[in-house]
Amino acid sequence: MKETIIIGMSGGVDSAVSAALLVEKGYNVEAVFMKNWDEEDTEFCTAAEDYKDALQVCEELDIPLRSIDLTEEYWEKVFKVFLKECESGRTPNPDVLCNKEIKFKAFLDAAKEMGAEKIATGHYAMIDYKDGLYRLKRGKDINKDQSYFLCRLDQYQISKSIFPIGELNKDYVRKQADKLDFLNFDKKDSTGICFIGERNYKNFLKKFFDIKPGEIIKESGEIIGEHEGLMYYTYGQRQGLGIGGGFGRKEAPWYVSDKIIDENKLVVVQGQDHRSLYHKHVKASKVNWISGSPPDSNADITAKIRYRSLDTSCQINYDTQNVFIEFETPKFAVAPGQSIVFYDQDICIGGGFIESRANKNIL
Amino acid sequence: MIYFDHSATTPIRPEVLEQMNIVNRDYFANPSSVYKTGRKSRSLIEKARFQIATAIGAKSDQIYFSSGGTEANNQVLWTIANQKNKHVIISSVEHPAISKVLEKIKPYGVETSTIPVDDKGIVLTNELMNLIRPNTGLISIMLANNEIGSIQPIKEIIKKICNHNIPLHTDAVQALGKIEIDVNELGIDYLSLSAHKFYGPKGVGALFVNKNNNIKPFIIGGDQENGLRGGTENIAGIVGMGLAAELAIKDQNTCVTKLKKLEKHFLNNLKEHIPSAKHNKTNNLPGLISISFPGNKSNILMAKLDRASIAVSNGSACNTGNIKPSKVLKAIGLDDNINLSTLRISFGKDNTIDEVDFLIKTLIEIL
């Protein structure tokens, strides 16, 4: 019998074309619409646009679409962690956790229960199998590569996954969607954190936290403003500080360089080139190695400290708890809480959470 | 596909469909027009009105057609928003077409009290008297519940409130063709019906209004339906509803016997093969069974049944997959885990014992 693949269908163009490719390859394809977030706390659900788009695609492909509710899992495993991280002044990345705990765990489990051999998603990343190991590779479309978000997956999770569009570029995917009469072919790419969507991040967080104002200080200690709570700011942030350096001013703009959590103080420096905004050393915790073991010490490793950044060559050392990274060149705005993701050429070898950063090797 | 979701909707009867096709093809004239073809359209509607009235023991001039049960309910409730006595009493197991409307009309000063139900989903009529206020303008209690099939003691309720002169509305969309409805015997003031629940078409329903009432139009426009429902009539839909109602009453005994047989067969087999399943028993609208499968999530069960081409439903879930514990199941005392493991199986007149056997066999396989 043909292999059954259950695809996570979001209503977006990427998963839609992924499904089409699987159908074309002759798999027995079924789609599942995952509900991870309660948009409103209304008692009865609102018929989501995304579901309608997913349904149209599935009808076009003549495959079943079913829904599963993972809101509880998402709340417990992703959102609670997100809130805790925010509260401690860090800059979390819930999408990394969502992949680890929801899409490639709760959804994978549900799909297997529903009779799937494997799951598929519309991620821009590739998988191959070499020397007994599954390898996660960057997506071909380098502007869209999403391996960063998949850095916490393990061998089992990858072995059960298919990324049908990993070898395609976005333009081509859209054109395919148009050709297949998918009504979502020109739907905007989703941006940012899934549950926040287009909303203002600060306003969203304000629903969950009290405002805890404090001082904005220069490195010298001089007070130059007030902030609304450290969780609303991230490292390297320039806009929304409410202090000079803005439009029409001659002086250089201010950037967040540090947060002093105990004193509830936000430290800012002037100018994007300020040395306090750059760090060469990073300590990362809870590092996941996709192969199951750390890379060879002589491997040529690069690392990314956030999704939208280029990776930089680095040396890594580790003890049982942490990985210590020394970059070849200092990195701008290293934010604790974000994922640091390691690559060996085109292979994503794993990732961890940034704990701290420094300019001397004293981590 | 094997269809066990007749409480959601029913397939249209072939003879009803045929009538509707004839009407759509041959009788397009506006029923408000006075020339010959218009008069024909009018007479078709009036015949259907008579059929509906007869089905529930009413008179023709007490029947108002609308777009469905939801609209009928809305019309009754919005009338409350426009009158002096704005307090409404409902049961804790009403459909959102009642409970959600009342939330929406709160800003108009409408206040709602809720009568709890017992563990079989039947309203505690003794509580009713404590809830009545001087400004209580309506009591709305469904005749039969859509999730668990409990049948409410409307007659008893009427007896209790007869001294208070409070109008009583009942949402009877689940009931027609399954239990006897006689508006005079029930003694109610308003009753909502929906055609697609008794093998008629979607998009058409009716409201019974006892004459001693001050019901207001909800959809405003032309003078159709005695000025209580504007908009050119859905002639084919109305004709379909009329015929479907007539046939539902004609076949009621056979149909109920069949439903009870299917139900019994299912429950016996369930008990034997899946003893862990829990039947949420009520006083039982024929054909509707609520079953909890502890340790299983209803949405996964439904997906598995769908793979086997079996259609059932779970509580008040919607298609985007966001499943919240059903309020009705909560009201009868199910905890959230059991609540979310509950399926509603609603048999129909054309289901067979073989189909029920296949359901049992599939359930055994997937559990």
Active site residue A314: no
Contact B323 A47 (CB under 8 A): no
**Residue B286 contacts residue B261 (beta carbons within 8 Å):** no
- Report how many Cβ contacts below 8 Å link chain A to chain B: 66
A22 three-state secondary structure: helix
State the CB neighbour count (10 A cutoff) for residue A358. 14
pLDDT of the residue at A332: 95
For chain A, domain boundaries? 4-179, 210-273, 276-358
Fold of B14-250: Aspartate Aminotransferase; domain 2 (3.40.640)
* Contact: A114, B304; criterion CB under 8 Å: yes
Q: What percent of chain B has pLDDT over 70?
A: 98
Q: What confidence score (pLDDT) does residue A256 get?
A: 95
Question: What average pLDDT does this structure show over B102-127?
Answer: 96
- Alpha carbon separation from A305 to A88, A189, A275, A281, A284 (Å, rounded): 19, 22, 18, 12, 10
Residue numbers in A near B92 (CB within 8 A): none
The predicted-structure confidence for A322-363, as pLDDT tens digits, reads as follows 999 999 999 999 999 999 999 999 999 999 999 999 987 755
CA–CA distance, B34 with A179 (Å, rounded to integer): 52
Tens of pLDDT, residues A18-53: 999 999 999 999 999 988 887 654 443 444 778 888
The total number of residues written for chain B in this structure: 367
Distance CA A357, CA A334 (A): 7
Mean pLDDT value across residues B89-106:
96
A316 SS3 class:
strand
Interface residue of A1, A40, A45 to substitute, partner B, most B CBs within 10 Å = A45
pLDDT (mean) for A165-176: 96
State pLDDT tens for residues B130-185. 999 999 999 999 999 999 999 999 999 999 998 888 999 999 999 999 999 999 99
Check whether B209 has a pLDDT greater than 80. Answer: yes
**Please, how many CA atoms are within 13 Å of residue B74, restricted to the half-sphere of its CB?**
16
Q: Name the burial class of residue A167, with classes exposed (0-12), middle (13-18) and buried (19+) by CB atoms within 10 angstroms of its CB.
A: middle
What is the mean pLDDT of the segment spanning A207-215?
Answer: 87
Tell me if B299 and A44 make a contact (CB, 8 A cut-off).
no
- Assign a CATH topology to domain A4-179: Rossmann fold (3.40.50)
Interface test with B, best of A67, A70, A108 (most B CBs within 10 A): A67
Calpha distance A125→A144 (Å, rounded): 9
CATH for the A210-273 domain, from 2.30.30.280, 3.40.50.1580, 1.10.3720.10, 1.10.1200.10:
2.30.30.280
Q: List CB contacts of A82: < 8 A, sequence separation 6 or more.
A: A92, A94, A97
Q: At residue B36, what are phi and psi to the nearest 5 degrees?
A: -55, -50
Please state, in angstroms and as integers, the Cα–Cα distance from residue A124 to each residue in A121, A144, A145, following that order.
9, 6, 5
- First CA to last CA across chain A, in angstroms? 55
Is residue B238 within 8 A of residue B203, CB to CB? The reply is no
Cβ(A145)–Cβ(A2) under 8 Å?
no
Residue ranges of alpha helices (H) inside chain B are 14-26, 36-55, 69-81, 96-104, 125-131, 154-161, 183-186, 235-250, 252-273, 298-307, 327-331, 336-339, 353-366
Disruptive mutation site among A39, A44, A49, A55 for chain B (greatest number of B CBs within 10 Å): A44
Judge: B327–A115 Cβ closer than 8 Å, yes or no: no
Convert the pLDDT of each residue in B40-76 to its tens digit.
Answer: 999 999 999 999 999 999 999 999 999 999 999 999 9
Q: Residue A114: which of B96, B307, B320 has the nearest Cβ?
A: B307
pLDDT tens sequence across A88-141: 999 999 999 999 999 999 999 999 988 899 999 999 999 999 999 999 999 999
Supply the mean pLDDT for chain B: 95
Q: What is the mean pLDDT of residues B81-94?
A: 96
Give kind and range of the element (H or E) at residue A149: none
CATH level 3 topology of B2-9+251-366 = Aspartate Aminotransferase, domain 1 (3.90.1150)
Question: B281: distance to nearest CA of chain A, Å?
Answer: 25
pLDDT score of A43:
40
| Predicted local distance difference test score (pLDDT) of residue A47 | 43
Query: Is pLDDT of B301 > 80?
Result: yes
Task: Tell me the DSSP string of B29-97.
Answer: S-TT--SHHHHHHHHHHHHHHHHHHHHTT--GGGEEEES-HHHHHHHHHHHHHTSS--EEEEETT--HH
Q: Are B308 and B362 in contact (CB under 8 A)?
A: yes
The residues, ordered by sequence, that sit 6+ positions from B213 with a Cβ below 8 Å of its Cβ are B167, B189, B190
pTM for the complete prediction?
Answer: 0.83
Give CA–CA dist B26/B41, Å, rounded: 10
Domains of chain B by residue range: 2-9+251-366, 14-250
Tallying the residues shown for chain A, one arrives at 363
Instruction: Give me the pLDDT at residue A49, please.
Output: 79
Write the pLDDT tens digit of every residue in A217-266: 999 999 999 999 999 999 999 887 877 655 555 678 999 999 999 999 99
Residue A41: what pLDDT? 47
Is residue B189 pLDDT above 90, yes or no? yes
Residues 6+ apart with CB under 8 A from B224: B31, B32, B230, B231, B232, B233
**Burial of A196 from C-beta contacts in 10 A (0-12 / 13-18 / 19+):** middle
Query: What's the pLDDT score for residue A215?
Result: 94
ipTM: 0.74
Q: Do B322 and A113 lie within an 8 Å CB cutoff?
A: no
The CA-CA-CA angle for residues A313, A157, A188, to 5°, reads 75
Q: How far is B346 from chain A (nearest CA, A)?
A: 20
Asked if B324 and A68 come within 8 Å (Cβ–Cβ), the reply is no
Across the range A45-71, mean pLDDT stands at: 85
Which residues, 6+ apart, have CB-to-CB distance to A203 below 8 Å?
A: none
Report d(CA A144, CA A13) in Å as an integer: 13
Q: Are A8 and A42 in contact (CB under 8 A)?
A: no
Looking at the domain A276-358, which fold is it?
Elongation Factor Tu (Ef-tu); domain 3 (2.40.30)
- Distances in Å between the alpha carbon of B230 and those of B38, B221, B233, B248? 17, 4, 8, 28
